Structure 1
Amino acid sequence: MTVSYTKKVSNTSFCGFSKLLFRWRGSVFKLIWPDLIVYLVLYGIVSLVYRFALNEDQKRIFEKMALSCEYFRNVFPISFVLGFYVTIVVQRWWAQYMLIPWPDTICLLANTYIQGQDDRARMIRKNFARYINLAFALAFSRISPRVARRFPSYQHFIEAGYMTHGEKAIFEMMDEQTKHHKIWMPLSWACQLTVRARQEGRVPDDYGQEAIIHEVTNLRYNCGKLQEYHHMSVPLVYTQVSWVVCETH
């Protein structure tokens, strides 16, 4: 999860930026300190060997090897490779953040267009919101390890109030047919509830029904794109090339 530091720089203070650069939580220092220690140890070993274990001829050979490496280091366009890699990673991170679905908008639409104060209307709105949240929980259980630990089985969705025993039986029956994700099922049920509410006259016009279903399809698109980002990582070969170029410099 991204570590927020906005409050730390909301106003100017003495050495405020310096304190920000040396924050530990969420910092680059926390990320690379094991590799940095290994690098410093190896660098120290090479330095000691050069100074105390090699004779003059061996030192000249070592220096020529170092100069050769320095020459070939400049052949690689490190600024282009690393800049392009960082751009891909940042754009990918921001796109995933913007795709995170929220139930607020669609639940507000359902509360606005599915009218009525009787038990039937309240039950429709309640089940509609439950289906939306069930779809979110199913989607994030396939993406987030923390959510997956919270909902390791359908029984846990029932205990959390997202699913009924009858719906659990439907999911298990579908699992026997295919192992593909079932995020679309609760969203389909939400659309059917909207159509039923329209037929019963609880949705006043076709525009309200269309607005709700359009928002449901948008949520389906966002959940699908998040799963695509989860399964399709940045190509490993490009990550390795960027690491090799960085290490050689």
Structure 2
Amino acid sequence: MTVTYTNRVADVRLGTFSQLLLRWKGSIYKLLYCEFFIFITLYFSISLTYRLVLNASQRLMFEKLTLYCNNYAELIPVSFVLGFYVALVVSRWWGQYESIPWPDRIMNLVSSNVDGQDEYGRLLRRTLMRYSNLCSVLILRSVSTAVYKRFPSTEHIVRAGLMTPEEHKKFESLNSPHNKFWIPCVWFSNLAVKARNEGRIRDSPFAFLCCSPLQELNTLRSQCGRLYGYDWISIPLVYTQVVTVAVYSFFLACLIGRQFLDPAKGYPGHELDLFVPVFTLLQFFFYAGWLKVAEQLINPFGEDDDDFETNWLIDRNLQVSLLAVDDMHQDLPLMEKDLYWNESYPQPPYTAATAEYKRTSFLGSTFDIRCVKLSCHKKLSMEARFTPHPRATMYQIISGFYQCSSRKAAILPLPQMPPLWSSVLLKSSLVHVKTW
């Protein structure tokens, strides 16, 4: 399950996506080949019947039916209905992935906040993490067929070591008609409070940290609750039925409406008899494949090629969480001065293969612009400098004093002139002949 091809599309080059078309596991060919074969078989059966079996009057009736189906089949809004449905399914699919419980944040807090190098401290930390993992297993067992096959009963969970026989007795003795995946969360909370009362979670200026394991447990409990909700509240059945009926009714109409008729009859659009409906087959591949995408993603906790690896998730979470709170608890490496201890600008080295990726820092797009004030080539008197040409405009006068050069665009900043000069320049630009 979970077909990964990320390394195949790391670089954009010729045939990056085309090479993925040759894969079978998780492909659209594997999902669609049965329906595609049935459609082709029915289409050519009807075509051969029209060509070889029907008499003249029956062929005429079939041709009228073909023209009718071809004209009205396009009224079915297949692409519109499918587009919204698949968008809804993909959004729901990603929401289910984000609701998968991960114990990493809890294990960090338990390892750092629950003290004790003795056997009881070790037992306390491992039990807390086992409860959090047990909660995840119980909810995954409720929504995933792969996990349920692995743990078909709570006795199998006891045999797997996720629950002790004593805990199993208490679990079964609690009478509730509802799903009891939340019980390990209550055990976790009570055990954390007991550890704090025993001094295993010490009070400090940062005493609020002792509540962090419970806060993270509530986050994990919320994720489990969302998975339960996704499993309970499906996409409305009527929506799924409408999409399915729209797709299959469209292609049932295409079985007759897309038949090639006798070109000698002169029917519009039937001037050529190709026998094989290439574009109809492509349309079936696209639309039916689109529907198969929705069928694949609507419940990612099954056993399809692209469903979530729930059993791997259980194994990984248990191993990592127990390792973090047991073997790694207060087992720190020796602190040493780092390689850049005396450097203010650390620069990790590049290998010869990655030297071309070294870049200077980007400071901003405006840092590439420079504005220069140019002085006159000749030093003129103040009177001559402000005497305009009889036909000069204000723009020509101002641009004679200031000029801005840029590597990207020309910018003409306006100078700060005395009020008298500004009024004189304005008048001269309006009359064109009036001197200062």
* TM superposition score normalised by structure 2: 0.54
Measure, in 1, the Cα distance between the counterparts of 2:195 and 2:212.
14
Spell out the pairing of 1:106-125 with structure 2 (5 A cutoff): 106-125=106-125
Which blocks of at least 5 consecutive residues in structure 1 are unaligned?
A: none
Q: Displacement of 1:190 after TM fit?
A: 0.7
- Decide which moves more: 124-133 or 198-207: 198-207
Residue 185 of structure 1: how far off its partner (Å): 0.7
Q: Which residue of 2 aligns with 1:164?
A: 164
Judge which range, 21-30 or 236-245, deviates more.
236-245
1:64-83 equivalent positions in 2, closer than 5 A: 64-83=64-83
Partner of 2:217: 216
2:18 match: 18
CA deviation vs aligned residue, 1:37-57 (integer Å, no higher than 9, x gap):
111111110111111122333
CA deviations over 1:76-101 (Å, ceiling 9, x no partner): 32222111110111111111111111
- Matched to 1:235, the amino acid is P
- CA–CA separation in structure 1 for the residues paired with 2:20 and 2:94: 22
Root-mean-square deviation (CA, aligned residues, Å) is 1.8
Q: Identify the residue that residue 48 of structure 1 maps to in structure 2.
A: 48
Following the alignment from structure 1 to structure 2, what is the Cα–Cα distance between the partners of residues 126 and 85? 45
2:227 is aligned to 226
Matches within 5 A, 1:58-207: 58-174=58-174, 177-205=175-203, 206-207=207-208
| C-alpha separation in 1, matches of 2:232 and 2:3 | 24
Q: Quick check: which has more Rg, 1 or 2?
A: 2
Greater alpha carbon shift after TM alignment, 223-232 vs 35-44: 223-232
1:138–1:183 contact (8 Å) kept in structure 2 = yes
Q: CA deviation at 1:13?
A: 5.2
Partner Cα separation in structure 1 for residue 65 and residue 229 of structure 2: 45
Q: Percent identity, aligned pairs only?
A: 43
Question: Which stretches of structure 1, 4 residues or longer, exceed 3 Å deviation after superposition?
Answer: none
1:59-112 CA-to-partner distances (Å, cap 9, x unmatched) read 332232223223332323222211111011111111111111111111111111
Larger % of helix: which? Answer: 1
SS of equivalent residue, structure 2 residue 75 = coil
Q: What is the Cα deviation at residue 151 of structure 1?
A: 1.4
Distance (whole Å) between structure 2 residues aligned to residue 72 and residue 145 of structure 1: 42
**Is contact 1:195–1:209 with CA below 8 Å preserved after alignment?**
no
Aligned residue type for 2:225 = G
Q: CA deviation at 1:184?
A: 0.8
One-letter amino acid of the counterpart of residue 236, structure 2: P
Equivalent-residue separation in structure 2 for 1:195 and 1:154 (angstroms): 27
Q: Deviations over 1:134-160 (max 9, x none)?
A: 111111111122211221222222222
Matching residue of 2:358 = none
- Give me the whole-angstrom Cα distance separating, in 1, the residues matched to 2:157 and 2:23: 39
The one-letter code of the counterpart of 2:194 is R
CA contact (8 A) 1:136 1:223 kept: yes
Greater alpha carbon shift after TM alignment, 222-231 vs 84-93: 222-231
* Whole-angstrom CA distance in 2 between matches of 1:234 and 1:76: 22
Residue identity opposite 1:201 in structure 2? G
CA distance in 2, matches of 1:26, 1:70: 34
1:74 partner SS: helix
What is residue 245 of structure 1 aligned with on the other side? Answer: 246
Instruction: Provide the rounded CA distance (Å) in 2 between the counterparts of 1:231 and 1:63.
Output: 49
The number of equivalent residue pairs is 247
1-structure distance, mates of 2:236, 2:30: 25
Moved more, 125-134 or 142-151: 142-151
Q: Which has the larger displacement, 196-205 or 137-146?
A: 196-205
**Equivalent residues of 1:78, 1:246 under 8 A apart:** yes
